Amino acid sequence: MKNILIVDDEQDIVESLKFVLETAGFNCYTAFDGEEGLRLAKEIIPDLMILDVMMPKINGYKISRLLKYDSKYKEIPILMITARSQEEDKLIGEETGANEYITKPFDLDDVLKQVEKYLGKQN
């Protein structure tokens, strides 16, 4: 079973993402702040991460940068979620190595499609 790590300080959003992804056959880990997210990422080395940008302690950009510049973790695909939608934010996201960029409010099915693009359809 493929492992996905969801990091977002909004518990409701984590909950809904987890529900949809688990229904689709993925195994989900969750973290509610950047520090915890980074720790878990290094511990479980997930197959994919969904990262919120605006988070207490360590923000999503920083986590992405820390992971993408470390050879042990750089292969983990990262989907960035943010409430911002400006072009410059996307550019920052890309510069930090995030693979995809999702703007709030997002469509859960779209997120699922993005995840399946990287991990394939589960049974």
Partner 1 sequence: MTRIFLISDRINVIEKYDKLCRENSYDFKNSADLKIIDDILSAEAQDIVLFDNETSSFNVKEVLKNIRSLVENSIVILITGNKNPDKDISKSINAIISDDFSDSMILAALSINIRAQSSLKKLADTNKDLAASLYRQNTLYGISSQFASTLNSEKLLEFMIEGLDKTLSFSLACTLSFCSGEEPVLILNSLYEISDELLNAIKVRTIYNYNSLFENGDIPFKIDENKLKVLKYIKFPANRFNFTLFRFDNMFARIALGDTFYGCVEVFKENHFSPEDSKCFQTIVQQVTLPLKNASLYQEIIETNQKLERLEKLKSEFISIVSHELRTPLTSIKNSLDILLSGRCGEVTENSEKFLSMAKRNVTRLSGIINDLLDLSKIEAGKMDFQFKPVSINTVMDYVKSALSGLAKEKSLNLIIKTEENLPNIMGDSQRLEQVLTNLLSNAIKFTPEGKNITLKSELKNADDIEYHPCFAEYMKNLKGDYVIVSVEDEGIGIAENEYLHAFDKFAQIENSLSRKAGGTGLGLPIARQLLEAHNGAIWCDSVLNKGSNFHFAIPVDSANIKSEEILV
Given the rule CB under 8 A, which residues bind partner 1? 10, 12-13, 16-17, 19-20, 23, 83-88, 104-109
Pair 100, 114: CB distance under 8 Å: yes
Residue whose CB is less far from partner 1, 5 or 102: 102
Minimal distance in Å, beta carbon 30 to partner 1? 15
Minimal distance in Å, beta carbon 101 to partner 1? 14
Instruction: Determine the Cα–Cα distance for residues 32 and 52; give it in Å rounded to an integer.
Output: 10
For 20, left (φ over 0), alpha (ψ -120 to 50), or beta?
alpha
Residue whose CB is less far from partner 1, 104 or 117: 104
Minimal distance in Å, beta carbon 7 to partner 1? 15
Pair 25, 54: CB distance under 8 Å: no
Residue whose CB is less far from partner 1, 65 or 104: 104
Q: Which two tokens stand for residue 38?
A: 């980074």
